Amino acid sequence: MTTAVNTRTRYTDTGRATLVPLLADPATGRGRNLDLEVTPHLLISGYTGWGATSALRLVAAHTARHGIDVQVLDPSPKRVGFTGLEDAGPFVTVHRDADDITQLVTDFVTGFQIRFEELDGRAPESHRLLVVDGLDRLRKSVVGEGAGRCSVLDALEPVLALGRAVGYHVAASVSQSFVTRQGFPRTFTDCSALLSLGPTTSRARTELLGAEPRPAGVPAGRGGGEFADYDGPRAVRTVFVSEDEAREIARG
């Protein structure tokens, strides 16, 4: 399947769930994939309107298309960005209620722990994906009970550190203003592919991408930014899909 998305980039199915056609070279338009087998998680930083939600929407739709269980957490009060995935088939579910979100995080982390023990070093045969649009909005949310009670960010850290071994993946966005003010846990940045969209403050860029110089040719406008996985950073433009296109992709 190939879906036209704008004059520069197109969604083209890679045929593999964990190979997500998220990015394009801004100079040539040639696609660059996010490989969840290599970098199992994705952390996106950007100001509102620069394309973080649409990038997560594409990741969710593509992986659901290939049969991965995708749970989308959308704590935004605006409740927009994932309506197209609400009826997109059996592999993707969108959660917005605060209690539902904290319970889902608890279940996701518990499932990770169970699978980690069951596999005992064997390669995973299936994958799960947790998509969080606005991880910083959950920083005050608490999961667990008694001695195991902790913040959502703390609960997800073991998944970030060891998720690759058991096929558990996290794709999340965080506001750049939050990164600038408070930084971000190293487990998240060290274990994830990093996508910084739009204008970047010096502190946020250092937190996310380190001290390497900004690459040439970073495109202006929505969806333009820098991407780093096992090397980089590199100038990229994200592939955009609309709500309707995301539904079509997820349904296969």
Tell me the pLDDT tens digit for each residue of 6-24.
434 678 999 999 999 999 9
Cα 178 from chain centroid?
Answer: 17
10 Å Cβ neighbour count for 58? Answer: 26
Residue 34 pLDDT more than 80? yes
Mean pLDDT of 227-252: 91
pLDDT at 155: 92
Residue 174 pairs in a beta bridge with: 45
How many Å is the Cα radius of gyration of the chain?
17
Tell me the pLDDT tens digit for each residue of 102-111.
999 999 999 9
CA angle 107, 192, 105 (to 5 degrees): 15
Residue 138 pLDDT more than 80? yes
Q: What percent of the chain has pLDDT over 90?
A: 59
Which residue in the block uniquely carries the two structure tokens 């889902």?
Answer: 104
Structure tokens at 106: 């608890």
Largest CA distance in the chain: 54
Residue 2 pLDDT more than 70? no
Tell me the pLDDT tens digit for each residue of 140-187.
888 887 887 898 889 999 999 999 999 999 999 998 888 888 777 778
Q: What is the pTM of this model?
A: 0.92
Mean pLDDT of 34-56: 92
* Mean pLDDT value across the chain: 88
Mean pLDDT of 219-228: 88
Residue 3 pLDDT more than 80? no
Closest CA to 44 of 249, 243, 224: 224
Binned at pLDDT 50, 70 and 90, residue 199 comes out as confident
* C-alpha dist (Å) from residue 8 to 20, 72, 106, 236: 17, 27, 40, 12
Distance CA 54, CA 60 (A): 10
pLDDT at 7: 39
Tell me the pLDDT tens digit for each residue of 46-56.
888 889 999 99
pLDDT at 4: 37
Q: What secondary structure, in 3-state letters, does the chain show?
A: CEEECCCCCEEECCCCCCEEEEEECCCCCCEEEEECCCCCEEEEEECCCCCHHHHHHHHHHHHHHCCCEEEEECCCCCCCCCHHHCCCCCCEEEECCHHHHHHHHHHHHHHHHHHHHHHCCCCCCCCEEEEEECHHHHCCCEECCHHHCEEHHHHHHHHHHHHHHHCEEEEEEEEHHHHHHHCCCHHHHHCEEEEEECCCCHHHHHHHHCCCCCCCCCCCCCCEEEEECCCCCEEEEECCCCHHHHHHHHHC
Tell me the pLDDT tens digit for each residue of 48-91.
888 999 999 999 999 999 999 999 999 876 767 899 999 999 99
Exposed/middle/buried for residue 74 (C-beta within 10 Å: 0-12, 13-18, 19+) = buried
Mean pLDDT of 131-146: 87
Q: What secondary structure, in 3-state letters, does 183-198 show?
A: CCCHHHHHCEEEEEEC
